[in-house]
A and B are shown apart, each in its own frame.
Chain A
Amino acid sequence: MRKIDIFRLTFIFISLFITLLLVFAIVALFLVPDPEDVWHNLLSEEMRYSLKLSLLTGLVSTLLVMLFSLPIGYTLSRFQFPGKSFVKTIIDLPVAFPELVLGLCLLLLFGNTWVGKALQSVGLNFVFTVKGVVVAQFFTALPYASRIMKSTFDYIDPRMEFVSRSLGYSRFETFVNISLPLARNGILASTVIAFARCIGTFGTVLILAGGTYMKTEVLPITLYLNISYGNMGMALTSGIVLMVVSFIAIYIFEKTEVGL
């Protein structure tokens, strides 16, 4: 008979215990509210506004995030230049930064500094506006997407690109013909994670764009506002919607088999 491995059993037990706690917490979110109530809340004017604004800002931010994280990820993976590690640290910073602090920094920058004033003079006012929601989401999600893109490009053999160039294709043509198609899974993973981050961003949005009812109200703000008025039904409903979005995102991410 095999001896019982106490070490193995203990570690597996710890992993299972925490997983179960999380599962119970998630299940509670779906079980506590009355389904009819949830449906009713979903159709309410506030929820429809919040859902629509979340999807709209989420899509725009994700698009912008990808537009920037592709070149940033490629740069960090392929090029050596002075100040590279500085760029890497600063871009990664928001991963460890509290969202509220990031929001505060952005609020200061886009507020009364010359940068803010210059942008406002061309019609880009990010403080307490819907545009601000996009900016807040953009900066929160960018590090995650850039990291995934960097590790995706790290896994693509640069010699594939070398061969393409030896056959007469320029750097840009090679990027389009070789690097992007080979990075397909990574781009998908990074887009999905960026979208989930954008939809779920709370602190940065709250500080920069403000949590104004039916104005800059995205799903996490709805959850927050309704909890503070004691309207549990609406809070739970936005929680459920956010949870569903993250589940789909993580599921697709796992499918693409890209490492962070």
Chain B
Amino acid sequence: MSFLQIDNLSINLGEFHLQQVSFALEQSDYLTIIGPTGAGKTILLESIIGFWKPDSGRISMENRDITDELPERRRIGIVYQDYALLPHFTVYKNIAYGLKKTEETNIREKVLDISSSLGIDHLLHRKPATLSGGEQQRAALARALVVRPKLLLMDEPLSALDPKTRRETRILLKRAIRERDTTVIHITHDMKDVWALANKVAIFREGRLLQFGSIEQVFTRPRSEFIADFVGASIFDGKVTACHSGVSTIQINGINLVSLDHADPGTEVKVAVRPEDIIVTKIPPKEISAQNIIGARLDEIVSEGNTCILKLSSGRISLDVLVANNAVERLQLEPGDEVYAIIKGANVRIV
């Protein structure tokens, strides 16, 4: 049996609810949960930790039913977006708080150890209110990790930080989790968290678990249009015109796309393409292994920090392409340019 097993969990708190949620995690899995606001993500975490009693369903950890166990006995840690540090304690006392309950010796050593690995050992005597957001979040993380929880739950731990601090904190977080081999469930809105930290993803909407699986599965094979849209893939309606030797041809608004996914000829399908899986060139490519080469017009360049989204249109379909900023400079791309979009057949997914 799995390390953490959630079976048919349902809870209704009026404003937020969960319906029949089931999934399982193995030891040292890192699960990121994504989904729109109001999807019941926080309720899920707070049910797993035991702050809310589910209306039905079962939660087991290490082969033991913990559905009715008191939160203080579950050994599950939690980190919130707004840190929830205790304002009347110093950083040291905040981190030592959990240790004081469980052990009498080595408290000082353990606090120093975790705080130096998270780079907050010089802040231990300060009150939380005098710390920056990033420092407070590292303190909250230290407080949760120092007691070596069996499972760590994090509710948008990086969302309140500015982009630079978020990147730095993400690196520290990753290292701290790896060193301790902690099993984690992490709610986020930032796909970068998913790519950088997780091995599994769950997508929630309106209290339901829509899809659960490895990052690979969920991002390349979104199970519905909503998920594809949510994880940033472009979706097209098409019709399978041919399928032989493992290669399907799908006609989409007059354009043919080749996919390595199997589908029966004549069926209507939806096709997902991820923006980072498309290559753009200005010169018509020759002798190239990729099977899809689409002539298109560059309509718009949308900057997103280090990366850009190129908005292409070809006939009646439009494509989003994710490229690095310097690619735009190198190719001297400008709106109005005629370009070619190259997509490997393996990256055209039938959803």
Q: Flag if B84 contacts A168 (CB, 8 Å).
A: no
Whether A122 sits at the interface, judged by CB under 8 Å, is: no
Is residue B130 contacting chain A, with contact meaning CB distance below 8 A? no
A186: min CB distance to chain B, Å: 13
User: In the complex the two chains form, is A166's CB within 8 Å of B86's CB?
Assistant: no
Interface footprint category on A: 10 to 19
Judge whether B72 and A170 touch: CB under 8 Å.
yes
A252: B residues at CB distance < 8 A = none
Would you call B84 and A159 a contact (CB within 8 A)?
Answer: yes
Taking a contact as CB atoms closer than 8 A, the residue among A160, A168, A170 that contacts B86 in the complex is A160
B51 within 8 A of A: yes
Partner of A167, one of B50, B70, B87, B97: B97
Contact of A168 with B87 in the complex, beta carbons under 8 Å = no
Q: How big is chain B's contact interface, by range?
A: 20 to 34
A162 to B49, CA, bound (A): 9
Do A178 and B98 touch (CB < 8 A)? no
A166 near B97 with CB under 8 A, answer no
Q: Which residues of chain A have C-beta atoms less than 8 A from B74's C-beta?
A: 166
Complex Cα–Cα for A178 and B82 (A): 17
List residues of chain B with CB within 8 A of the CB of A157: 82, 84
Which residues A149-189 have CB closer than 8 A to chain B? 157, 159-160, 162-170, 178, 181-182
Verify A182–B87 contact, CB threshold 8 A: yes
B74-118 near A? 1/0 per residue, CB < 8 Å: 111110101010111000000001100110000000000000000
- Give complex CA distance A157, B102 in Å: 25
Residues in chain A near residue B46, CB distance under 8 A:
162
Shortest Cβ distance from B14 into A: residue: A80
A168–B78 touching, CB < 8 Å = no
B71 within 8 A of A: yes
- Report A-chain residues with C-beta under 8 Å of the C-beta of B97: 164, 167
Contact at A166–B101, with CB atoms within 8 Å? no
Instruction: Say yes or no: A165 contacts B84, CB within 8 Å.
Output: no
B189 to chain A, nearest CB (A): 19
Instruction: For the A-B complex with A162-B51, A166-B49, A167-B97 known, give 9 more contacts whose Cβ atoms are closer than 8 Å.
Output: A162-B49, A162-B71, A163-B78, A163-B80, A164-B86, A164-B97, A166-B74, A169-B72, A170-B72
B contact residues vs A (CB 8 Å cutoff): 46, 49-51, 70-78, 80, 82, 84, 86-88, 97-98, 101-102, 143-144, 147, 149
Shortest 10 CB-CB contacts between residues of A and residues of B: A167-B98, A168-B101, A165-B71, A159-B84, A166-B78, A165-B72, A181-B88, A168-B72, A163-B84, A160-B84
